[in-house]
Chains A and B, each alone.
Chain A
Amino acid sequence: MEISWSRAIGHLWKKGKRERTLVDILMSISVFEDLSKRELASVRRILYRREYGPGEVIFRQEEPGMGMYIIQSGRVTILSEPEGLVLSELGEGDFFGELALLDDSPRSATAIAKTGCQVFVFFQPDLLGLIERNPRFGMKIVLRLARILVARLRNADEQVFTLHRELQEIKAKTKGVSQE
């Protein structure tokens, strides 16, 4: 009897700890930065928890993208196919596939679990449902996503500008060399 009680308490403690950890992780994710604790609890209710073994494919490039993945533990490799070029390696608290929350275009890269990992999936239709039922709440998430994308766009613009400048310099140097 004592053993089963301690097991039950242990189970509840573990469950509470796990859920608290998930809310903590959600709070640290920029997409959910503006949400209150109550709203975060609502988000937590619509997330799907998945476990992946080392080397297991989470999603493949060119497949339909249906949601964003949040890593609770473990490491995930994002790579471009068919070259297999590693684009990034993500760990606990990181998220990926967030573009699928906004558009219906296919996945731009492949995600593979590098180690055993636990992830939470935020499904696009659930976000759309959230916007439909509670626009203020849904807009907080969408606005955050838009800001993330704007930041990335600015970053991409700067990179294009830098590359363009470097290209011009190379061209100028090449021209000089050929004239000599």
Chain B
Amino acid sequence: MSTTHSNHSRIRLALLVLVGLCLAAATASAQTTPSPLSPTNIFAPVSTPAHAIHGLSLFVLGVTAVIFVVVFSLLVYAVVTFRSRTDDDNREPPQVYGSNQVEFAWTVIPVLIVLALFIASSRVIATIQNAERPANAIEVIATGHQFWWEYRYPRLNVITANELHVPVSDPADPTPTFITLLSADMDHSFWVPRLAGKTDLIPNRTNHTWIDPHEAGLYLGQCAQYCGTQHAKMLLRVYVQPRAEFDRWIQEQQQPATNQAVSEGRHVFESTACVNCHTVSGTRANGRFGPDLTHLMSRDTIASGVADNTPENLRQWIENPDAIKPGARMPAMGLGARQLEAVVAYLATLR
């Protein structure tokens, strides 16, 4: 009996050590910003809300680790010390029914721990949820669609999709980005772990979140609320750019479609169902159901981050979206080979 028992606790100990190591690795990676364990590691924050959560999470992890060690040690001690032995007589051990003092102690101590955790949590809630919006903040309206993201910059008159661009925010002179979260259809959730915790996008409701990334770079995430067939491929990409670069990007996006030449591809695009869902500003295409394509070529990816934006992928996407993203809302357009080539050629001019 006792051998089984010690094997048993050895397994537990080994597992415990493994989990501890993993947690330590995840936490340690927070120090090395460029290459964390994962591009979506919650322990590698680069923005104030994510930093505040990170600080709280270390506190909570520390407290719970201490509780774990104490209670686990008591459990192991009890199991080892009070195990029945072969040389025991058959008498029952002394019966103890309880002790008010002991009960009092293990009620009060947890109450104090809970109080500390509660105060720490409510401070961080207030820091993040009640943050002041400075006048120079970038304003973005993010709208969740099945299964892609629409971004509008109402004060800058820019509409884009799936790739959010925001400026770096210098902690000394912050230019945070405040994002209003809406949904066109389903519950979605905006989650870029290195920038902030997640906030849901719920139809017929307005939510808010904000980020102030301190370092330039590309930050990834994805929809975190089940929203239908392709919930898994509703990826988030946030491009954090130095201010000058961001301003240049805004300027480019503010232009109408640069190519006004009438091509065969444009004719096909404008005379088929494409225009029911897509907008190319400055042309007849003004659908709102799908992503705005005015500056399609300025994006790195298509289909909400699922495929690189290459002519080959575009061709495949238009021909049969289900091949890339089964269940996507875009229908297969049923174009002939020549029309397909022409449309891809036209899209390639939308810079």
A and B associate: no
Binding site for A on B (CB under 8 A): none
